[in-house]
Structure 1
Amino acid sequence: MAYGRIPDSAIDAVRNAHDIVETVGKYVHLTKNGKYMKGLCPFHSERTPSFTVTPELQIFHCYGCGKSGNVIRFIAEIEGYSFPEAVRLLAEEAGIPVTWSDPADAGPPADPNRDKQIEAHELAAKLYHYLLMNTEQGRSALSYLRDRGMSDRLIDQFSIGYAPESWDTLARFLESRQFALPLMEKGGLLSAKQDGSGYVDRFRGRVMFPIWNRDGKVIAFAGRALGDGQPKYLNSPESPLFTKSRTLYNFNNARPDIRKRRKVVLFEGYMDVIKSWSAGVHNGIATMGTALTDEHAVILSRSAEEVIICYDGDNAGRAAAMKAIPMFEKAGMTVSVAMLPGGMDPDETIDAYGPDAFLRDVMDHPVSAVKFKLIYSRKNHMLEEDEGLRKYLLEAARIIAEVPSAMEREVYMKELHREFEVSLDSLKQDVHAVRETMQNLQAPRDNNGFSWNNGRNEKRSSSSGPPTLLPAYQQAERKLLSVMMRDVETARVVHDRLGDAFNVEDHAALAAYLYAFYAQGHDPDVQRFISTLQDDRLESTAASILLMDGDFPFNEQLLDDFIREIRKLPRMRELEQKKEQLVRAERSGDIAQAVQIASEIIALERQLKGRQDDRF
């Protein structure tokens, strides 16, 4: 069965081209544990590794949060892609031609409006860039960029352009190419006239910075006014293509370096990103003229373990950095802050001191998040006064108390002790008191010490992983399914003798999918079978069964025992119901009914003891 328009052959080719250990290893540090590879789960916080990869089966499973699947599912989960997007990405990485987008393929058609809007944005970016580089209209904007230290090569690389003062340059350009102007308004390129008589360009008299999605397609623009025009920056409005809270400027270009280094640099503005890129910072990104969001932090945490916040060195920039730090810490990232001189921004620092000094003195020596918080706190207190110093030291104790490492806390306390000549013992007492208060207030949750995504985990099902001791019938069902997924003949015998009479709903569903899988002529292939499920819960159940219950001897006698155990449960439940009916009949004085029920109970008990056909 194909996934939408993607044929099975393409999915199989993608799976076979990517070893799951190698792919997962780019995101998770894996260590060998018998025939498995284990590591800390990238999808939830944990101290003890519960994330398992099986090279033999080419699947992963986490016993903590329940996520599981094959290499395609892993990329979809870790990168936030849909299944088709993950297939496309892995296919392109492996050099497999992407041919399944042809109209002849089965499945729903692509959204023509979205495709048309992206096409229009791509053309608009080319038009703006041409106007900047080749026309009299763009001369002042080009001079402005060159005065800011932007080379023509850098302007070309980032496709920077110019939107002229004319009211309808882009509108006429798009209309001449048969684009529907109302659709272009919905995409954020045009604005409707107030009198309803037509459309005008949204951006006029501005230097234009294209904004790309993760696939490198232009989906929006940021326009900077020349001179004193307001607002200074004008972004495209939210649209089906563009969501500010999830979009990061330059992420598509920076992503390879971010993944390689496992580190990202967050800037405030587009010019900071571009100038820093020219200085050698190729893992820099920026938010879309809005404050950082939790979604931004989560997106970045999928590609990086560390983040350096390089906001402007003025009060506003440092205040913004203070707000950003807890968001990244919540997302499980190590945070540091680049300290810029004299209230400058990165762009100004590079111009004033040169790219080498910027890299050496700023980017190579960021301060830790704790150190930055202490520096920021100092500026809010009058340290020359006793009361100001007292308040600062109390606030410093609260900051240090949040540090998980006792050794790190000791280092910061000794720094305060040396600088302000305060008693080290008293500092330790204050920090200890704060930590006790924090622990008392902290609700018991999943790994409080590593709670970056506990909020997300609170909603997960408690049954995502099997309990330590399962009832006999559940163990029988799981072991039987484990063999069935590896052996077609066993699956056929179970189909004939048991059918869908599994007691656990998910087990019955897996059996039904498995019968259909083999009926289509497939040979046993657990990775391929799991990819046909297209259901997170069933994928998780199948993976956990394969990982936990694969090593046991199996023969015809054991097959009989499993089926007998599975079919026993409904009889046991029926027996309990009969016993309840017997009690009610006796209480009501219905002797005849009580005798009849008692006879039925005896027959059921004999069956359960195997005195009749042990195969039922």
Structure 2
Amino acid sequence: MSYGRIPDEVIEGVLKHHDIVDVVGKYVHLTKQGQRMTGLCPFHSEKSPSFSVNPGNQLYYCFGCKASGNLIRFVMEIEGYTFPEAVMQLAEEAQLDYEWEVPDEAKSKDQQEKSILYQAYEFTAKLYHHILLNTEQGKPALEYLRSRGVTDKWIEQFQLGYAPTMWDRLVQLLEKREYPLPLMEKGGLISAKSDGTGYLDKFRDRVIFPIHDPKGRVIAFGGRLMGEGQPKYLNSPETILFNKSRSLFNYHRARPAIRKSGQVVLFEGYMDTLKAWGAGIENGVATMGTSLTEDHADFIRRHADQVIVCYDGDQAGQNAAYKSIGILNKAGIPAGIALLPDGMDPDEYIGRYGASRFRKEIIEGALTSVQYKIRYARRNFNLNNETGIRTYIETAVKIIAEVNSPLEREQYVKELAREFQEYEFETINQQLNTYRQEYLNKRDIRDNKDKSWNNVMNNGKGREKKPSLLPRYHTAEIQLLAVMMHDREVAEHVRQQLGEQFNIETHAALAAYLYAFYAQGNEPDASRYLAALQDERLESAAGQILMTDTVQGTNPQVIDDYIREIKKHPQLEAIKHKKEEMIRAERAGEIALAAQMASEILTLERQLKAL
């Protein structure tokens, strides 16, 4: 079997080498549920998992947006690749030996430009790293990093570099290697001169922090200025490779620790993340020159169950931490806030108190988001007088009222009662109950207005809409195709008895592809069959059939019953139309025509009984 210009052995090698759970797991945080793995769908927004991965047949399916397919289709959708590009990517990751390449004409213009820019960024990162470690120009930057407690091991791990002070050193080297300079400017590596006479290096006299995508490819740089001037920190501009609002520094390194712990520690800057890594916090990431965005939160929620926000201890950092709680909670991610004393940042704290204390007292001692909100609100009240205390307690109780867990609410009320002993626990709790009821009355019963099937905050007022029943012939076609995809002999029997006489066009197409798949000597293999389709609509339909557990039995009698039900439908439809024609003829007084219709109906009914 051939797939365009891709050799059959490449497809087989990719599907054999990769496990779909591992491929999907790079993008989605999966948990085991029975025989399957489930998680939040990466293709649409949701708060309760509807995305399912079946290790048995190597397929995925979303019960919400209906996305489905095998691992090749997943990579196509998640990365925006064509089929050949997805296969090539997977083949390279598997280190398969092959001579096939995607022809340039098969690549989109964006894909061609991206490919060149990936190479250029990788070259530039290696260049800056070499300059830092091996040249006189890089010595001041190297001494600066070491003075900040950055070890040579971390410099290697993070591929830190130095951009020299020359105006066009990188421009010259890129041009020498025949990288197109207009594309290099578009990709954020260099800048055009204001007079239009040429190009300048984007980064000069800066320590360089390479920024990677989730696959570990360099897509941008962050630069810390060595001398005087502004801005102190400079990031690459947004490009076809780099989006600040979606990218997280260090994610590709942190991913194994995030998957193991289910937790992300979120920092503000590169140096904080690096120093925390050295302190044993290997699940740390950072936003880059931008506040936490909904896109960041959406990305994080697919990979982690919890976030610890560890921003600077100054006012700006704590304001940003407070803002992050709302963004993370909106995405359905529990957030904790790590508090740093005296306006310190993580880098300073680790340098002064050491790695062990940072881990135990700051990260492990993080406040819950509710505790932090209460503490954040506290600064607005004068607790030296009765009015200030009472108003503060009322504000804190309003915050507690939004907590869903009764046990958590009770815990927070007890903490308030212990601190302010002039107020009884019962009194505070009574006020809590009042605010809780007000909150519930105001809150919309649904959390996802655009996706009624995914309203997880039902609270009993709404009723789950039952799925409509499919016609018998439709169900029979689904059941029959599901068996055929797993049983070659059944598929051959159906081909002889039914052929392509499925009533639904999509099902007829799936059957035709399946007959061809088996005719070429293939054994049942759902993932390879979907790869042969190379049609998003058909793959979605096949994936739904394979993932919905509809098969009730596979004995010969059941198979023949399915076939009979499918054959009956056209006859039933013909009888229905004839009866409608007969009624119209009777109403029009055309007795002879009505009698003829009645005779034809009897013939059709006899044929139906004979099926």
Superposition TM-score tier, normalisation by shorter sequence: 0.7 to 0.9
* Residue pair 2:13, 2:96 contacting (<8 A) in 1 also: no
Separation (CA, whole Å) in 2 of partners of 1:335 and 1:443: 22
DSSP-derived class of the 1:411 partner: helix
Q: Report the counterpart of residue 333 of structure 1 in structure 2.
A: 333
Q: Secondary structure at the match of 1:299?
A: helix
Whole-angstrom distance in 2 between the partners of 1:174 and 1:283 = 35
Deviation, 1:347, is 0.9
Structure 1 residues 176, 17: closer, same or farther in 2, change over 3 A? closer
* More off after superposition, 472-481 vs 103-112: 103-112
Q: For the residues of structure 1 that align with 2:173 and 2:483, how far apart are their CA atoms?
A: 64
Q: Which amino acid aligns with 1:171?
A: V
Instruction: Spell out the pairing of 1:41-440 with structure 2 (5 A cutoff).
Output: 41-43=39-41, 56-59=56-59, 61=61, 66=66, 68-70=68-70, 96-97=95-96, 99=98, 102=101, 108=107, 111-421=111-421, 422-440=423-441
How far off its partner does 1:236 sit? 0.9
- Which residue number in structure 2 is paired with residue 462 of structure 1? none
More displaced stretch, 219-228 vs 18-27:
18-27
Shift of 1:197: 1.0
Residue 503 (1) aligns with residue 499 (2): no
Which range is displaced more, 272-281 or 219-228? 219-228
Q: Distance between the aligned counterparts of 1:138 and 1:89, measured in 2?
A: 35
- In structure 2, relative to structure 1, the CA distance for the partners of 1:322 and 1:535 (3 Å cut) is farther
CA shift in 2, pair 1:12/1:142, >3 Å = same
- In the TM superposition, what whole-angstrom CA distance separates every residue of 1:56-95 from its partner, at most 9, and x where no partner exists? 54545565665554566678889999877876777677x5
CA contact (8 A) 1:75 1:86 kept: yes
Worse-matched range after superposition: 391-400 or 106-115 = 106-115
Identity %: 51
What is the alpha-carbon distance in structure 2 between the residues aligned to residue 466 and residue 485 of structure 1?
28
Alpha-carbon distance change, 106 to 295 in structure 1, aligned in 2, over 3 angstroms: same
**Aligned: 1:600 with 2:604:** no
- Equivalent-residue separation in structure 1 for 2:390 and 2:535 (angstroms): 58
Q: Match of 2:461?
A: none
Deviation per CA, 1:9-42: give whole Å up to 9, x if none: 344334444566788899444354xxxx256544
The match for 2:9 is 9
CA distance in 1, matches of 2:191, 2:539: 47
Q: Distance in 1 between matches of 2:128 and 2:441?
A: 59
Distance in 1 between residues matched to 2:432 and 2:86, nearest whole Å: 47
Q: Distance in 1 between matches of 2:336 and 2:420?
A: 25
The whole-number CA distance in structure 2 between the counterparts of 1:192 and 1:9 is 46
Report if the CA contact (8 A) 1:163-1:204 is conserved. Answer: yes
Contact 1:79 1:299 in 2 (8 A): no
- Asked if 1 retains the 8 angstrom alpha-carbon contact of 2:248 and 2:296, the reply is yes
Mapped partners of 1:116, 1:65: distance in 2: 34
Paired residues of 2:84 and 2:102 also in contact (CA < 8 A): no
Secondary structure at the aligned position of 1:222 is classed as strand
Return the alpha-carbon distance in structure 1 between the equivalents of residues 247 and 415 of structure 2: 40
Q: What CA distance in whole angstroms lies between the structure 1 residues aligned with 2:209 and 2:586?
A: 85
Question: What CA deviation, in whole Å up to 9, does each residue of 1:136-181 have, x standing for no partner?
Answer: 4334333332332223333333222222332212112222222221
- Structure 2 partner of 1:461: none
Q: Which residue of 2 aligns with 1:548?
A: 549
Query: Distance between the aligned counterparts of 2:382 and 2:471, measured in 1?
Result: 66
Unpaired runs of 5+ residues, structure 1, are: 459-464
Residues of 1 paired with 2:244 and 2:343: CA distance? Answer: 27
Structure 1 residue identity aligned to 2:98: T
Q: Aligned in 2, Cα 1:29/1:115: closer, same or farther, shift over 3 Å?
A: closer
Report the alpha carbon displacement of residue 342 of structure 1 after superposing the two structures with TM: 0.9
Task: Measure, in 1, the Cα distance between the counterparts of 2:538 and 2:244.
Answer: 34
Q: Give the partner amino acid of 2:360.
A: R
C-alpha distance in 1 between matches for 2:107 and 2:142: 45
1:270, CA displacement in angstroms?
0.6
Contact 1:268-1:310 within 8 A present in 2 as well: yes
SS in 2 for 1:529: helix
Name the residue aligned to 2:460: none
| Cα distance change of structure 1 residues 139 and 413 upon mapping to structure 2, 3 Å threshold | same
Secondary structure of the residue that 1:249 maps to in structure 2? coil
Are residues 480 and 266 of structure 1, via their aligned partners in 2, closer, same or farther at CA, if it must alter by over 3 Å? same
Q: What is the RMSD computed on CA atoms of the aligned residues?
A: 3.6
* Mapping 1:514-593, distance limit 5 Å: 514-534=514-534, 538-539=538-539, 541-546=541-546, 548-555=549-556, 557-593=557-593
Matches of 2:425 and 2:81, distance apart in 1: 51
**Among 14, 32, 35, the residue aligned to 1:30:** 32
The separation in 2 between residues aligned to 1:452 and 1:328, in whole angstroms, is 19
User: 1:545–1:139: structure 2 CA closer, same or farther, 3 Å change rule?
Assistant: closer
In structure 2, relative to structure 1, the CA distance for the partners of 1:122 and 1:28 (3 Å cut) is closer
Q: Per the alignment, in what secondary structure is the counterpart of residue 245 of structure 1?
A: coil
Query: What is the letter of the counterpart of residue 299 of structure 1?
Result: F
Q: Deviations over 1:384-426 (max 9, x none)?
A: 3444434433332232222222111110111112222334334
- 1:61 to 1:166, Cα distance in 2 relative to 1, 3 A: closer
Measured in 2, the distance between the counterparts of 1:304 and 1:85 equals 29
Counterpart Cα distance in 2 of 1:197 and 1:370: 57
Where 2:399 maps in the other structure, the secondary structure is helix
Asked whether the 8 Å contact 1:266–1:311 carries over to 2, the reply is yes
Gap runs ≥5 in structure 2:
456-464
Which segment is superposed worse, 538-547 or 297-306? Answer: 538-547
Task: Check the 8 A contact 2:502/2:508 in 1, yes or no.
Answer: yes
* Distance in 2 of aligned mates of 1:283 and 1:452: 33
Inter-partner Cα distance in structure 1 for 2:103 and 2:75: 27
1:510 deviation in Å? 2.1
Q: Does 1:487 align with 2:487?
A: yes
Q: How far apart are the structure 2 equivalents of 1:455 and 1:267?
A: 35
Instruction: Name 2:472's counterpart in structure 1.
Output: 472
SS at match of 1:325: helix
Structure 1 SS opposite 2:196: coil
> Alpha carbons of 1:100 and 1:268: their partners in 2 closer, same or farther (altered >3 Å)?
farther
Once the two structures are overlaid, the 10-residue window that deviates more, 595-604 or 341-350, is 595-604
What is the CA-CA distance between 1:199 and the residue it aligns to? 1.0
What CA distance in whole angstroms lies between the structure 2 residues aligned with 1:60 and 1:308?
A: 30
Stretch deviating more after TM superposition (175-184 or 326-335) = 326-335
Report the Cα offset of residue 296 of structure 1. Answer: 1.7
Provide the secondary structure at the position in 1 that maps to 2:532.
helix
Conserved in 1, the CA contact under 8 Å of 2:488 and 2:524? yes
Partners of 2:143 and 2:499 in 1: CA distance: 76
My pick for the range that moved more, 5-14 or 277-286, is: 5-14
TM-score (normalizing by structure 2): 0.85
Report the alpha carbon displacement of residue 187 of structure 1 after superposing the two structures with TM. 1.1
State the secondary structure of the residue aligned to 2:12.
Answer: helix
Distance 1:561 1:194, change over 3 A: same
| In 1: Cα distance, 2:5 partner to 2:392 partner | 62
Cα pair 2:47 2:332 within 8 Å, conserved: no
**Superposed CA offset, 1:104-135 (max 9, x none):** 89964894432222222222223323333344
| Mapped contact 2:205–2:227 kept (Cα < 8 A) | no
Q: Any conservation in 2 of the 1:266–1:286 contact (CA below 8 Å)?
A: yes
| Larger displacement relative to structure 2 (528-537 or 14-23) | 14-23
> Offset at 1:525?
2.3
Secondary structure of 1:196's match? coil
Matched residues in 2 for 1:82 and 1:440: separation?
A: 49
Structure-2 separation of matches of 1:508 and 1:198: 60
